[in-house]
């Protein structure tokens, strides 16, 4: 039996191995879907069968805007749609970041993971009203191209359970057996694109926030060992553990973030199971700054290549000595995965049907990527069939490394603040954006 992590590792191998672009999932043309068609699906039915989901999917892509007479479903009262009971639910979500402009729907570009998730929630009518009515929260944002196998969001979802006594003013269901609730995982996965999956749900307490109730977050960053000095990298990553000021390891947002201290609880470098070449870094902490993981990884790679000494970590963490971040490029986004978010007392569940479907779906995706990898292997082999004529026209320049501490620097926090105050007093107003922990 393939475990999820093995599957994810294999997917990552393929991501890294070649620059393949995944086959794009078929995105329904939501503009064409009439509201009436959406109402055809009755999830309050005791037996939510695959047939219903099929109908929903087919209905949306086949009908293509033509309004067909709507079938009446027994016991389904449209007028009561706004009065169904709700429950506060946490959802665990995985996504493969290649195609998305990050997780948060506030991004200027589409698609984002959240925008696809919101579409699925609305399409399946699991939510009512606007987003502001959902009490929605997310554990953290992830950047464009970053994947996750353990993102968590919380919101109010439609429930099959009725509040005893039929009190419509108090329609929030507290508890109820999981087996008798709507199969949220299966319903949502029936309409989500191939590269997003809900993998579990659980009841959340009323004061739960996916962002503020999160105890810790863990990231993985995959890479090839090649000639990297792993023991030097290990010595470096251990120096990042503990509470430090990480302003030299992030993208500074001086308008909104004033405290750059964060706690890293563990930082390890491990080989992937079944490979001596593919490895990953595993980083756990209470919360992370914008681009923090990718900045730390970038410096570790410089150390691994022998271009910097592990001591450079201590220098960068000392913000009195190093108030200005030297300019360096952060590590690429594709190998980064938000692996898990830790909460107290949440136990995510999934029906056996939905679980089986998830397993089949991921195995299928995995096989598709393996075929892509096989094609690239074939391409490498066919390169051998052409002969080298022995001529050399370009000489490879030895890339000269400029030591981090000799590089041009970015403005310090104080310099940025002074500039912000100046421009706020002048013509520009600083735009305040929502700042999540990442
Ligand atoms: C539920 O639906 C499935 C598929 O249509 C069917 O095989 C099964 O017998 C139904 N179960 C009940 C309890 O109606
Ligand atoms: C939520 O409420 C419970 C019980 O009312 C309380 O013990 C807990 O500390 C609260 N959590 C937060 C994050 O406010
Ligand atoms: C790897 O790095 C360590 C620590 O910087 C150093 O002592 C060791 O010589 C390096 N190994 C190689 C093979 O360069
Ligand atoms: C590593 O792979 C082997 C064989 O594929 C498996 O038996 C073992 O449980 C795996 N270990 C981990 C930690 O995943």
CATH number at residue 279: 3.30.70.660
CATH number at residue 41: 3.30.70.580
Whether the CB-CB separation of 407 and 328 falls below 8 Å is answered with yes
Q: Which residue has the tokens 């977050």?
A: 217
Report pLDDT for 79: 40
Q: Would 427 be classed as within a structural domain? A: no
Report pLDDT for 322: 96
Q: Would 228 be classed as within a structural domain? A: yes
Please provide the distance, in angstroms rounded to a whole number, between the alpha carbons at the two ends of the chain: 33
Q: Would 234 be classed as within a structural domain? A: yes
Q: Would 161 be classed as within a structural domain? A: yes
Do 241 and 146 have their domain in common? no
Whether the CB-CB separation of 276 and 225 falls below 8 Å is answered with yes
Do 244 and 181 have their domain in common? no
Query: What number of other Cβ atoms are within 10 A of residue 211's Cβ?
Result: 17
Q: What is the C-alpha separation between 60 and 312, in angstroms, rounded? A: 56
Phi first, then psi, for residue 294 (nearest 5°) are -65, -30
Distances (CA, A) of 215 to 40, 90, 193, 422: 41, 15, 30, 37
List the residue whose alpha carbon is closest to atom 10 of ligand 2. Answer: 207
Pocket mutation for ligand 1, best pick of 49, 54, 179 (most atoms within 8 Å of C-beta): 49
Do 91 and 208 have their domain in common? yes
Report pLDDT for 338: 96
Please give the tally of structural domains in the chain. Answer: 2
Q: Is the CB of 273 under 6 A from ligand 4?
A: yes
**Which residues form the domain of 260?**
216-339
Do 134 and 49 have their domain in common? yes
Do 55 and 179 have their domain in common? yes
Do 195 and 224 have their domain in common? no
Do 288 and 348 have their domain in common? no
Q: Which of the listed residues 339, 363, 393 is the one where a domain comes to its end?
A: 339
Q: What is the C-alpha separation between 58 and 50, in angstroms, rounded? A: 12
Q: Could you tell me the distance, in angstroms and rounded to a whole number, from the CA of residue 435 to the centre of ligand 3? A: 40
Do 181 and 248 have their domain in common? no
Q: What is the C-alpha separation between 292 and 244, in angstroms, rounded? A: 12
DSSP annotation of 200 reads: E
Query: What number of other Cβ atoms are within 10 A of residue 50's Cβ?
Result: 11
Token couple for 94 = 């995985």
pLDDT in tens, the chain (438 residues): 445 555 555 555 444 443 333 333 333 333 222 222 222 333 333 333 333 434 434 333 333 444 444 444 333 333 444 557 889 999 999 999 999 988 988 867 889 999 999 999 999 999 988 888 899 999 988 999 999 999 999 999 998 876 554 444 455 666 667 778 899 999 999 999 999 999 999 999 988 999 999 999 999 999 999 999 999 999 999 999 999 999 999 999 999 999 999 999 999 999 999 888 999 999 999 999 999 999 999 999 999 999 999 999 999 999 999 999 999 999 999 999 999 999 998 999 999 999 999 999 999 999 999 999 999 999 999 988 888 888 887 777 777 899 999 999 999 999 999 988 887 776 554 444 444 555
Q: Would 11 be classed as within a structural domain? A: yes
Do 245 and 203 have their domain in common? no
Report pLDDT for 175: 65
Q: Which of helix, strand or coil describes residue 26?
A: coil
Do 208 and 234 have their domain in common? no
Q: Would 376 be classed as within a structural domain? A: no
Report pLDDT for 430: 46
Q: Could you tell me the distance, in angstroms and rounded to a whole number, from the CA of residue 207 to the centre of ligand 2? A: 6
Q: Is the CB of 115 under 6 A from ligand 2?
A: no
Q: What is the C-alpha separation between 69 and 396, in angstroms, rounded? A: 69
Whether the CB-CB separation of 138 and 104 falls below 8 Å is answered with yes
Query: What number of other Cβ atoms are within 10 A of residue 298's Cβ?
Result: 16
Q: Which of the listed residues 339, 358, 390 is the one where a domain comes to its end?
A: 339
CA angle 41, 42, 43 (to 5 degrees): 110
Do 45 and 168 have their domain in common? yes
Q: Could you tell me which of 134, 152, 135 has the C-alpha nearest to residue 211?
A: 152
Q: Would 118 be classed as within a structural domain? A: yes
Question: Distance of alpha carbon 327 from its chain centroid, rounded?
Answer: 27
Do 140 and 223 have their domain in common? no
Determine the atom of ligand 3 nearest the C-alpha atom of 310.
Answer: 5
Q: Would 298 be classed as within a structural domain? A: yes
Q: What is the C-alpha separation between 114 and 198, in angstroms, rounded? A: 12
DSSP annotation of 71 reads: P
Report pLDDT for 189: 96
Task: Cite the active site residues.
Answer: 143
Residue 137: left (phi > 0), alpha (psi -120 to 50), or beta? beta
Token couple for 224 = 């090839």
Q: Could you tell me the distance, in angstroms and rounded to a whole number, from the CA of residue 361 to the centre of ligand 4? A: 21
Determine the atom of ligand 2 nearest the C-alpha atom of 207.
Answer: 1
């Amino acid at each position: 039996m393939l475990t999820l992590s093995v599957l994810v590792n294999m997917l990552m191998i393929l991501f890294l191995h070649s620059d393949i672009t995944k086959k794009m999932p078929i995105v329904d043309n939501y503009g064409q879907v009439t509201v009436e068609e959406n109402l055809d699906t009755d999830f309050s039915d005791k037996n939510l069968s695959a047939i219903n989901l099929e109908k929903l999917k087919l209905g949306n892509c086949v009908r293509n805007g033509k309004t067909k007479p709507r079938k009446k479903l027994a016991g389904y009262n449209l007028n009561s749609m706004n009065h169904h009971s709700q429950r506060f639910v946490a959802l665990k979500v995985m996504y493969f970041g290649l195609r998305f402009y990050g997780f948060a729907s506030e991004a200027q570009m589409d698609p984002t993971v959240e925008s696809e998730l919101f579409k699925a929630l609305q399409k399946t009518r699991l939510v009512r009203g606007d987003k502001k009515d959902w009490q929605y929260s997310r554990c953290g944002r992830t950047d464009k191209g970053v994947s996750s196998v353990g993102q968590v969001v919380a919101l109010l979802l439609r429930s099959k359970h009725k509040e005893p006594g039929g009190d419509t003013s108090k329609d929030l269901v507290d508890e109820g057996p999981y087996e008798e609730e709507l199969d949220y995982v299966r319903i949502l996965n029936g309409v989500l694109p191939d590269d997003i999956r809900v993998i579990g749900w659980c009841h959340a307490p009323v004061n739960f926030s996916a962002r503020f109730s999160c105890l810790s977050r863990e990231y993985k960053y995959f890479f090839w060992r090649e000639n990297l000095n792993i023991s030097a990298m290990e010595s470096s990553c251990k120096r990042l553990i503990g509470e430090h000021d990480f302003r030299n390891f992030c993208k500074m947002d001086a308008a909104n973030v004033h405290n750059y201290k964060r706690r890293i609880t563990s930082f390890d470098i491990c080989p992937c199971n079944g490979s001596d070449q593919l490895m990953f870094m595993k980083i756990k902490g209470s919360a992370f700054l914008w681009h923090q993981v990718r900045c730390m990884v970038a410096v570790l790679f410089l150390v691994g290549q022998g271009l910097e000494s592990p001591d450079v970590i201590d220098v960068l963490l000392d913000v009195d000595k190093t108030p200005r971040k030297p300019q360096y490029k952060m590590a690429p986004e594709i190998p980064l995965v938000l692996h898990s978010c830790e909460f107290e007392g949440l136990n995510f569940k999934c029906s056996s049907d939905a679980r089986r479907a998830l397993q089949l779906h991921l195995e299928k995706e995995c096989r598709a990527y393996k075929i892509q990898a096989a094609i690239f292997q074939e391409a490498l082999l066919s390169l051998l069939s052409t002969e080298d004529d022995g001529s050399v026209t370009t000489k490879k320049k030895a890339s000269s490394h400029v030591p981090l501490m000799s590089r041009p620097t970015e403005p310090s926090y104080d310099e940025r603040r002074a500039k912000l105050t100046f421009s706020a007093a002048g013509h520009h107003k600083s735009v305040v954006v929502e700042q999540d922990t990442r």
